[in-house]
Amino acid sequence: MTRKAALLFFAIALVVLLLPAAVVTLAPSPERPPQNNGNNPPEEKRSKKSLQIRLYRDDINEVVLLDLEEYLTGVLLAEIPSSFEMEALKAQAVIARTYALRQMRSLGGEGCGEAPSPADICSKSTHCQAWLDPVKTAAQWGPEGEASLDRIRQALEETSGEVALYQGKLIEAVYHSTCGGKTEASHALWSGGELPYLQSVNCPYCKHSPHYRGELLIPFTQLAKALPQDLALPVASGEQLLLEMASETPGGRVGTLKINGTLVEGKELRQQLELPSTAFAWELAEEGLLLHTRGRGHGVGLCQYGADGAAKEGKNYRQIVMFYYPGVEIAKFLP
Ligand SMILES: [Zn+2]
Ligand SMILES: [Zn+2]
């Protein structure tokens, strides 16, 4: 063998020797062992039977038993426009699920006191969470209804079982349509003390809401009807009306208003005059009181239009939930 031939032989031998190693290295490694070792039962056997919720349907005055996720489909259908960004729908899914689970009596919740027989929750938007029969509603809305249902089911599936927790406990997951720039602290409206995750936060995301700003003229006679009797008469004429802000809430809303020297709560006025929110400024007009309103709803917790706006700016549902409820974490619910 010449020196040249020996070198060639050596080179070929080296390639032959290294080739199997290269092949082995390049082969993709399997992500999980191909065989079930018996410790991990198949997925379907592991998944638990889904939770059931007792819903008081005030439209038919009956308590019905529903699968939790199916119940949530009806809540999202009723509570949020399905045309909203998917991440906003997912944030709403987590929040609506948290709200429902916290009420469930089988999990130690208080249930809903509006129902004629024991129920976890009712379908009144002013009391618990609004709810629409998904099948009936989709049929009524036609092809648009089917598309809405698809988006809502996607949001629920992609957040399956997920809830918002504070120090390991389900949060009081309240929400509203539009905060108008600043959300409200829960203790400004409800008793029960301050909650660290229900404080006022600045919301730059709901400017596209039709409720962001509004104007409303309240005729003096209507205003007089909403006020205590001793105030009504001077106010009805509109001439001696004197309004003063007595206390402002942490969210910059009307806490208490002084009307001709008498204190009236902002939330009371909102209810009596059917105002979109307690965030308003006023001016005296010839025909009545002209209100400049901000937002729609009580303003506490998640701002729905804000969630949509935040999603448009690239925030995901986790970031959205944690923005409106500072200090919470999102986790799978384990009863
Ligand atoms: Zn209720
Ligand atoms: Zn907002």
Write the pLDDT tens digit of every residue in 103-137: 999 999 999 999 999 999 999 998 999 999 998 99
Q: Which residue has the higher pLDDT, 22 or 313?
A: 313
Cβ atoms of 302 and 97 closer than 8 Å: no
Ligand 1 centroid–CA 130 distance in Å is 9
Judged by average pLDDT, the poorest of 16-25, 51-60, 110-119, 301-310 is 16-25
Whether residue 221 lies inside any domain: the answer is yes
| pLDDT for res 140 | 93
Q: Pick the ligand that lies closest to the CA of residue 126.
A: 1
What angle separates helix 68-79 from helix 134-141, to the nearest 10 degrees?
Answer: 40
Both 72 and 156 in one domain: the answer is: yes
Ligand 1 centroid–CA 232 distance in Å is 33
Tokens for 201, please give them: 């936060």
- Rounded-to-integer distance, Cα 101 and Cα 50, Å: 12
Cβ atoms of 267 and 278 closer than 8 Å: yes
The mean pLDDT of 3-22, rounded to a whole number, is 40
Q: Pick the ligand that lies closest to the CA of residue 63.
A: 1
| Parent domain of 59 | 52-207+299-332
- Rounded-to-integer distance, Cα 250 and Cα 192, Å: 16
- Rounded-to-integer distance, Cα 264 and Cα 99, Å: 31
Both 224 and 266 in one domain: the answer is: yes
Q: How many other CB atoms sit within 10 Å of the CB of residue 165?
A: 17
Ligand 2 centroid–CA 176 distance in Å is 9
Whether residue 16 lies inside any domain: the answer is no
Residues forming a β-bridge with 56: 63, 122
Whether residue 13 lies inside any domain: the answer is no
Write the pLDDT tens digit of every residue in 228-248: 877 776 777 667 788 999 999
Ligand 2 centroid–CA 203 distance in Å is 5
Helix (H, G, I), strand (E, B) or coil at 199: coil
Whether residue 92 lies inside any domain: the answer is yes
Both 326 and 268 in one domain: the answer is: no
Both 66 and 185 in one domain: the answer is: yes
Ligand 2 centroid–CA 217 distance in Å is 24
Ligand 2 centroid–CA 216 distance in Å is 20
Ligand 1 centroid–CA 124 distance in Å is 6
In eight-state DSSP terms, residue 182 is B
Whether residue 115 lies inside any domain: the answer is yes
Both 58 and 163 in one domain: the answer is: yes
Q: Pick the ligand that lies closest to the CA of residue 55.
A: 1
Whether residue 5 lies inside any domain: the answer is no
Both 187 and 92 in one domain: the answer is: yes
Work out the pLDDT band at 49, boundaries 50, 70, 90.
Answer: low
Both 75 and 186 in one domain: the answer is: yes
Ligand 1 centroid–CA 113 distance in Å is 6
Both 92 and 63 in one domain: the answer is: yes
Ligand 2 centroid–CA 304 distance in Å is 7
The mean pLDDT of 30-49, rounded to a whole number, is 41
Judged on CB neighbours under 10 Å (0-12, 13-18, 19+), 141 is: middle
- Rounded-to-integer distance, Cα 252 and Cα 254, Å: 7
- Rounded-to-integer distance, Cα 38 and Cα 103, Å: 38
Ligand 2 centroid–CA 243 distance in Å is 27
Q: Which residues contact 164 (CB under 8 A, 6 or more apart)?
A: 94, 95, 98, 170, 171, 173, 321, 325, 328, 329, 330
Ligand 1 centroid–CA 188 distance in Å is 21
Q: Pick the ligand that lies closest to the CA of residue 114.
A: 1
Q: Pick the ligand that lies closest to the CA of residue 123.
A: 1
Percent of the chain that is helix, strand, coil (3-state, to 5):
40, 20, 40
Both 81 and 186 in one domain: the answer is: yes
Both 266 and 169 in one domain: the answer is: no
- Rounded-to-integer distance, Cα 77 and Cα 145, Å: 9
Handedness of CA 316, 305, 127, 73 (dihedral sign): negative
Both 102 and 86 in one domain: the answer is: yes
Both 113 and 168 in one domain: the answer is: yes
Whether residue 251 lies inside any domain: the answer is yes
Looking at the structure of the chain, the number of domains it has is: 2
Q: What does pLDDT average to over the chain? A: 86
The bridge status of strand 288-294 relative to strand 280-284 is antiparallel
- Rounded-to-integer distance, Cα 329 and Cα 108, Å: 21
Ligand 1 centroid–CA 64 distance in Å is 14
Q: Which residue has the higher pLDDT, 3 or 215?
A: 215
Q: Pick the ligand that lies closest to the CA of residue 113.
A: 1
Ligand 1 centroid–CA 199 distance in Å is 24
- Rounded-to-integer distance, Cα 133 and Cα 150, Å: 15
Whether residue 119 lies inside any domain: the answer is yes
| pLDDT for res 73 | 97
